[in-house]
Amino acid sequence: KRQNFVLNLISVRLYLQIVENFILNMITILNTLLRKEIRSNFKLGHNAIPLLESRFCSSPAKQDVILTENCIKRLNEICENGQFLRVVVEGGGCSGFQYKFDLDTRIADDDKIFGTGKSRVVIDKISLDFLKGATVDYHTELIRTGFKIVSNPKAEQGCSC
């Protein structure tokens, strides 16, 4: 009887380990699907800028998002009626990610706000994981004028197209 009891105990323990592994795998899969669903439902307009020269890496950044003087100045010029600049990282582009910039007035519970007054930049929690320590700038160039992410410690050089 003791041998049967021990064998049953071992069987139950193995069964619990299998169930635990299954649950952990399901949580991982559901987390991935949820993030994709959030991304696909969170479209903010046509101002997508592909990350042509970046690929994200996992080294942690220790600072918040930084706004340059040019960024603050431009936001003060264009933001009206409680608008702010929303920055989102979405799937797309040759490196797998792209930045999207758009003016918005809605702030969600998981959004983080950088800046004050009219010069506010708002980033959702998932995008912030990719942008911590980055700098938001406003560039005026011959071909393009707009907001740009520069000096992102979460991105490493990769694509050369």
Write out pLDDT tens, residues 2-58: 777 777 778 888 888 888 888 887 877 776 666 655 555 444 444 444 443 333 433
Mean pLDDT over residues 117-131, rounded?
Answer: 90
**What mean pLDDT do residues 52-65 have?**
48
**Arithmetic mean of pLDDT, 95-119:** 87
CA–CA separation, 100 and 85 (whole Å): 10
Q: Is 96 left (phi over 0), alpha (psi -120 to 50) or beta?
A: left
Q: What is the DSSP string of 76-92?
A: HHH--TT-EEEEEEEE-
The pTM of the whole model exceeds 0.85:
no
Question: What local confidence, expressed as pLDDT, does residue 52 receive?
Answer: 39
What does the pLDDT average to over 125-146?
89
Q: Are 137 and 148 in contact (CB under 8 A)?
A: yes
Kindly give the pairing relationship between strand 97-104 and strand 145-150.
unpaired
More confident residue, 148 or 91: 148
Look-up of token digits 């983080």: 112
* Mean pLDDT calculated for residue range 112-125: 91
Q: Are 122 and 111 in contact (CB under 8 A)?
A: yes
The model's confidence at residue 114, banded by pLDDT at 50, 70 and 90, is: very high
